[in-house]
Amino acid sequence: MARGATVGGSRGMLPWVGLALILLIADQLTKILILGAFRLGDSTYVTSFFNVVRVHNTGAAFSFLAAASGWQRWFFTAIGVAAALFILWMLRSHPGQKLFSFALACILGGAVGNVVDRLMHGYVVDFLQFHWSNRWYFPAFNVADAAITIGAGALILDEVLRVRRSR
């Protein structure tokens, strides 16, 4: 089926919106647990390379613009809302493209999860942290960030497979 073809119009996109909703709920539930059990900066080592830590990120990925004066909250919220609307339009247009729609659903669930945080708290709650020998720490992230990353990877894979099919 061609990228532009649809299966069932709006009805065909419902499973993908459902996946995004499941990811959103998982993201928000885990953040509620962290907010209830940890104070800002608290950390619990789970393994020699992984810990759970409560971090508040007022910026974007890797704390980009976190030190800005506060305008970034609304800027990143607007980007998240615009991305969500665009993704919903894309899902409606391409629900039969399974890998493509899976990728979009993951990104949608993650984007909305982080927008909810920005609107409710003014920051994104991050809590998953990997490290090496307690010296190198990967920036903390959350379920929404993981969903966005998986979605981005699936988008890349979808494009690689599409290019190979067109040869």
Which residue is catalytic, options 27, 117, 126, 158? 126
What pTM was computed for the model?
Answer: 0.86
Q: Is 4 inside any structural domain?
A: no
126 is catalytic: yes
Give exposure, 52-63, as e/b (b: 16+ Cβ within 10 Å). Answer: bbbbbbbbbeee
Pick out the chain residues at pLDDT < 50.
1-7
Of 27, 42, 117, 145, which residue is the catalytic one?
145
Domain that holds residue 102: 10-166
Indicate if 158 belongs to the active site. Answer: no
Q: What is the pLDDT of residue 2?
A: 46
For residue 111, being part of any structural domain is answered with yes
CA distance 59 to 31: 17
What pLDDT was estimated at residue 166?
A: 84
Asked if residue 72 belongs to a domain, the reply is yes
Give me the number of domains the chain comprises. 1
